[in-house]
A and B are shown apart, each in its own frame.
Chain A
Amino acid sequence: MQKERIVINMNISDLERGQKFRVKKVHIAGEIGKRLADMGFTQGVEGVVVRSALFGDPIQVRLMHYNISIRRSEARGVEVESLGFGDGHGHHHRHRHGAGR
């Protein structure tokens, strides 16, 4: 179903602690993908990787002003673009959104 193949396929699991990101696309279908989208992992939303648990899994992400924990396997299904490392937490704003045509 994917028309445009994205060259650099970066996902949340690739990010490091403190790295900010903008969501591009959720690649998992079914319950997990829908749950991720319902919790706000939708195109254009920005977040930051806060930390990971012992042995690197699961990952704590701050998204839309709240904290959420996802497994690495789930994080791998969320394609993002990196926004680099910023100072402190919680400074992220949305710039574009899908609808509104």
Chain B
Amino acid sequence: MRFKKTIKIGLAGNPNSGKTTIFNALTGSNQKVGNYPGVTVEKKQGSRLYKEIEFVIYDLPGTYSLTAYSPDEVVARDFIIDEKPDIVIDVIDSTNLERNLYLCLQLQELGIPVIGALNVMDQARSMGLDINDKELSSLLGIPMVRTVGIRNEGIEELLDRVIECLGRQTCNTKMVSYGNELEDEISKITEVLVRDTVFAAIYPPRWIAIKILEKDRNVLGRLSAHSEKDLVKKISDGCIKEIEKHFGRDSEIVVSEQRYAYVHGAVMESVKRNEKSGAQISEHVDRLLLDRILGLPIFLAVIWAIFQITFKFGEYPMRWLEAFFEWVSRYGTLYIPQGILRSLIVDGVVGGIGSVLSFVPLIIILFFLLSLLEDTGYIARAAFITDKFLHRFGLHGQSFMPMMLGFGCSVPAIMAARTLKNHKDRILTVLITPFMSCGAKLPVYVLLAAAFFPQNAGNVVMSVYVIGVLLALFSSVLLRRLVLRGEETPFVMELPPYRLPTLQGILWHVKEKTWCYMKKAGTVILGASILIWAITTFPVASGSGYNGLEHSIAGRLGKVIEPAIRPIGFDWKIGVAALTGFSAKEVVVSTLGILYKVGDEDQGQSESLREALKNDPGVTPLVGYVLMLFILIMPPCFAALAAMRAEIGGGWLLFSFFYNITLAWVVCFLVYQAGRIAGF
């Protein structure tokens, strides 16, 4: 066998630079075309065999810079520092050279050869930009290759240049010049840094020196590994002071300005602009979509349409799936002998898988529509429109979409929070999303409202929805103050030009989301369903239905927790019903059905259950209302909890669980006690 060479490539670039199209063109696999920051949070990997060399390509998160402030940026630079790829390809949006080259120069400082892919050259040309790539290349000392990712143009040239660059030892011949004043200070720091040879072998000294001047906390932390860290600190403090005195501004800003100045100089010499007069297409579209008066109604209409399409169209496949699982259950009941096994398979396993899969049509439709909005560039506009209102409550413009979707189903809503780039914003949005009453809570509200407030059912249900929204906003303010404190995160957000999405890109994204949901949520939900099945089944009593449930673990648990739920007006039966609400909110209705011994469960509209509830002296209308509030505020269903764990991690999941339980109890307590005093 012949020796096969492997070249490891890190693929970097700005968000919206077409990096993902280059990745697809390089690796042949199809991926999502990113349109807002945070699409490629995980690093993706692909490979290609070309000229008997295996190229392994790592897709890094799209970033504008390489600071320590954003997790994406830290991931990108840590990959380059720690994993030391052979070369970095920086995908550059040719229509926006300055901002893209700003990143390119920072990549070069990481001590790994860099090649620039001047992407979307066709668009640059049609905008009247005449880029002299050879000139730019020699000015910056970085090889540049013209590419058009979606048309596969320039991809082999790119690989040829990689081979050529690695063949020669001197690929990147120049470094940014930050001007005399800054360069003096950089070399002072570098001189001390190189004294620790081990440290200098891992971290490029010049890069560290620049990062020190940028007051990068991540790099400052890594300095503790340096053998002469105290001296480094002393020297760098002096340098920073010197710079700030000379330039009259913060040193981290000075570094950015000098870097940009270098870029501007290079661009001025290598690019001719024959700017076409008149605004671009994007600006024409924005004039309508971001109109001060029309912008908001259009946005609300878009949300409404997404909502309608998702839940109206999703209903059909959901019903087919339900019918299918009903058929499976019946089949199982016929062929499996009566007993625990039948109960486990029919009620536990089939029921559990059924509830997992019933969300899949919703997720597919919803993420198809959301990807469409993302890829066109509208999501950023939506954030622009809603930011003012949400920011008052400590939220972000991009929190709006997940919150609205929460009215349909928390699972896709929580998954949609990934559009939020900032970690804290994302956590906060995920934490408050369950307060938006999801579709499964509605049957519970309807049952209780119809039983206890027949005259005013509509208004009562409405009030629960409103309370949910108020609690979401209240929680947001509270959590911002208490647990998600810290410096305000910038809103500074690019409004990318509108682009036509590709069907392939969208389908890939939908596939990825759906698969991710099925894999991560599926196992958890199945396990949880079996658990709920077990505690409502064991120990097996002689009778089924009411007797079975009363003597089951769940029934006993209900009685154990009765003292805790007495102050909010619940007896053990209501407690058990609420407990089963953990698996899914609509289950509460069927549990109540069993507990009140009404024949056919699952009949939200069933008059007998309404009558039974009304006739129970322990359940006053006040208790009924408090139960609605409890269902609203208590932790969401297992599917939503599983989605939460996947998006924000187990720690925050636990936090959310206890926060919701506590808030539910406190609110219910206040309402119940106040109601009693008021004589209800």
Of the candidates B397, B490, B495, the one whose C-beta lies within 8 Å of that of A36 is: B490
Set of chain A residues within 8 Å of B278, measured between Cβ atoms: 88
Collect the chain B residues with CB atoms within 8 Å of residue A1's CB. Answer: 244-245, 248-250
Q: Assuming A26-B249, A37-B253, is B388 touching A60 (CB within 8 A)? A: no
Given the interface pairs A42-B257, A58-B387, A70-B491, the reply to whether A53 lies near B295 with Cβ below 8 Å is yes
**Complex CA–CA separation, A88 to B279 (angstroms):** 7
With a CB–CB cut-off of 8 A, which chain A residues contact B494? 39, 66-69
Q: Are B296 and A54 in contact (CB under 8 A)?
A: yes
The answer to whether A57 touches B387 (Cβ under 8 A) is yes
In the complex formed, the residue of B with least CB distance to A64 is B98
Report if B292 contacts A (CB, 8 A).
yes
Nearest CB in chain B to that of A91: its residue: B275
Q: Is there a chain A Cβ closer than 8 Å to B64's Cβ? A: yes
Partner of A100, one of B69, B265, B275: B265
> Do residues A38 and B102 form an inter-chain contact, with CB atoms below 8 A?
yes
In the complex, A31→B214 CA distance in Å? Answer: 11
B380 at the interface (CB under 8 A from A): yes
- Chain A nearest CB from B272 CB (Å) reads 12
The total of chain A residues at the interface (CB under 8 A) is 52
Select which of B180, B244, B248, B261 is within 8 A of A42 by beta carbon: B261
- Tell me the residues in window 33-69 of chain A with beta carbons closer than 8 Å to chain B beta carbons: 33-40, 42-45, 50-58, 60, 64-69
Q: Which chain B positions have C-beta within 8 A of A88?
A: 277-279
Report the Cα distance A40→B65, complex, angstroms: 11
| Interface residues contributed by chain B, number (CB under 8 Å) | 63
Contact in complex: A33, B179 (CB < 8 Å): no
Question: B301 CB to closest chain A CB, in angstroms?
Answer: 15
Instruction: For the complex formed, measure the closest distance between the CB of B118 and the CB atoms of chain A, giving whole angstroms.
Output: 15
Contacts of B334 in A (CB 8 A): none
The answer to whether the Cβ of B67 comes within 8 Å of any Cβ in the partner chain is yes
Residues of chain B within 8 A (CB-CB) of A73 are 488
Whether, in the assembled complex, B83 has its beta carbon less than 8 Å from a beta carbon of chain A, the answer is: no
Tell me, yes or no, whether B96 is within 8 Å of chain A by CB: yes
- A58 and B491 within 8 A (CB): yes
Task: Report B595-650 residues with CB < 8 Å from chain A CB.
Answer: none
B492 in complex: contacting residue of A68, A97, A98, A99, CB < 8 Å:
A68
Q: Measured between alpha carbons, how far is A89 from B64 in the docked complex, in Å?
A: 24
Assess whether B256 is interfacial by the CB under 8 Å rule. yes
**Residue ID in chain B nearest A37 by CB atoms:** B256
Q: Given A34-B256, A70-B491, A94-B268, are A100 and B261 neighbors across the interface (CB < 8 Å)?
A: yes
Residues of B within 8 A of A89 (CB): 279, 283
Q: Which residues of B contact A94 (CB under 8 A)?
A: 264, 268
In the bound complex, what is the Cα–Cα distance between A98 and B247 (angstroms)?
A: 10
A51 to B285, CA, bound (A): 13
Q: Does B368 contact A (CB under 8 A)?
A: no
Question: Chain B residues with Cβ under 8 A from A30's Cβ?
Answer: 487
Contact B96 A65 (CB under 8 A): yes
Question: Contact between A90 and B275 (Cβ–Cβ < 8 Å)?
Answer: yes
Tell yes or no: B169 within 8 A of A by CB.
no
Judging by beta carbons under 8 Å apart, are B250 and A29 in contact? Answer: yes
**Chain A residues within 8 Å of B391, by CB:** 57, 71
B248 contacts A32, C-beta separation under 8 Å? no
Q: Are B179 and A74 in contact (CB under 8 A)?
A: no
Q: B290 in the interface, Cβ–Cβ < 8 Å?
A: yes
Whether B533 sits at the interface, judged by CB under 8 Å, is no
| Distance of A56 Cα from B384 Cα, bound (Å) | 11
Whole-angstrom distance from the CB of A50 to the nearest CB of chain B?
A: 8
> In the bound complex, do residue A74 and residue B253 qualify as a contact, i.e. CB atoms below 8 Å apart?
no
Q: How far is the CB of B221 from chain A (nearest CB, A)?
A: 16
A34 touches B264 (CB 8 A): no
Contact A99 B252 (CB under 8 A): no
Instruction: Pick from A25, A66, A100, A101 the residue with the most CB of B within 10 Å.
Output: A66
Is residue B489 contacting chain A, with contact meaning CB distance below 8 A? yes
B99 CB–A CB distance under 8 Å: yes
What is the CB-to-nearest-CB distance from B590 to chain A, in angstroms, rounded to a whole number? 45
| Given known A2-B248, A42-B260, A89-B283, contact A35–B178 (CB-CB < 8 A) | no
Q: How far is the CA of A47 from the CA of B1 in the complex (A)?
A: 60
Q: Do A54 and B249 form a contact, CB below 8 Å, given A39-B64, A71-B387? A: no
Q: Which of A40, A42, A57, A70 contacts B388 (CB 8 A)?
A: A57
B491 with A74: CB separation less than 8 A: yes
Which of A38, A64, A74 has the most B CB atoms < 10 Å from its CB? Answer: A38
Contacts of B497 in A (CB 8 A): 66-67
A76 to chain B, nearest CB (A): 13
B177 near A99 with CB under 8 A, answer yes
A83 to B207, CA, bound (A): 37
| Contact (Cβ within 8 A) A26 B253 | yes
Residues of A within 8 A of B397 (CB): 58
B470 on interface, CB distance cutoff 8 Å:
no
Q: Within the complex, which residue of B250, B292, B295, B490 is in contact with A74, where a contact is CB–CB below 8 Å?
A: B490
Does B95 reach chain A (CB closer than 8 Å)?
yes
On whether the beta carbons of B253 and A34 are closer than 8 Å, the reply is yes
User: What residues of chain A lie closer than 8 Å to B380, measured between beta carbons?
Assistant: 69
Q: Which residue of B lies closest to A71 (CB)?
A: B491
Task: With both chains docked as a complex, state the minimum distance between the C-beta of B302 and any C-beta of chain A, in angstroms.
Answer: 15
Q: Is B258 an interface residue (CB 8 A)?
A: yes
Shortest A101–chain B CB gap in Å is 5
Task: Say yes or no: A4 contacts B268, CB within 8 Å.
Answer: no
Please tell me if B493 contacts chain A, counting CB pairs below 8 Å: yes
Residues in chain A near residue B286, CB distance under 8 A: 50-51, 60, 67
Query: Which chain B residues border A36 with CB–CB below 8 Å?
Result: 490, 492
Closest to B397 in A: A58
Q: Verify A40–B490 contact, CB threshold 8 A.
A: no
Q: Which of A57, A67, A99 has the most CB of B within 10 A?
A: A99
Q: Which residue of B lies closest to A17 (CB)?
A: B292
Can you name the residue of chain A whose Cβ is closest to the Cβ of B277? A88
Out of B245, B249, B258, B384, which one reaches A69, CB within 8 Å? B384
Residue of A50, A55, A69, A94 with most partner-chain B CB within 10 A:
A69
Chain A residue contacts of B496, Cβ below 8 A: 66-67
Question: Who on chain A is nearest to B385 by CB?
Answer: A53
Top 7 nearest A-B pairs (CB, nearest first) are: A37-B256, A99-B261, A99-B179, A38-B65, A97-B261, A67-B495, A42-B257
Which A residues lie at the B interface, using CB under 8 A? 1-4, 25-26, 29-40, 42-45, 50-58, 60, 64-71, 73-74, 88-91, 94, 97-101
Q: A1-B248, A3-B245 are in contact. List 11 more A-B contacts (CB 8 A).
A: A4-B248, A34-B253, A35-B65, A35-B490, A37-B252, A37-B260, A39-B99, A64-B96, A68-B492, A98-B257, A99-B262
Can you spell out 24 A-B residue pairs with CB atoms less than 8 angstroms apart?
A3-B245, A25-B249, A29-B250, A29-B252, A31-B487, A34-B252, A34-B256, A36-B490, A37-B252, A38-B67, A40-B98, A42-B257, A43-B257, A52-B292, A67-B286, A67-B494, A69-B384, A70-B490, A70-B491, A74-B491, A90-B279, A98-B179, A99-B177, A101-B180
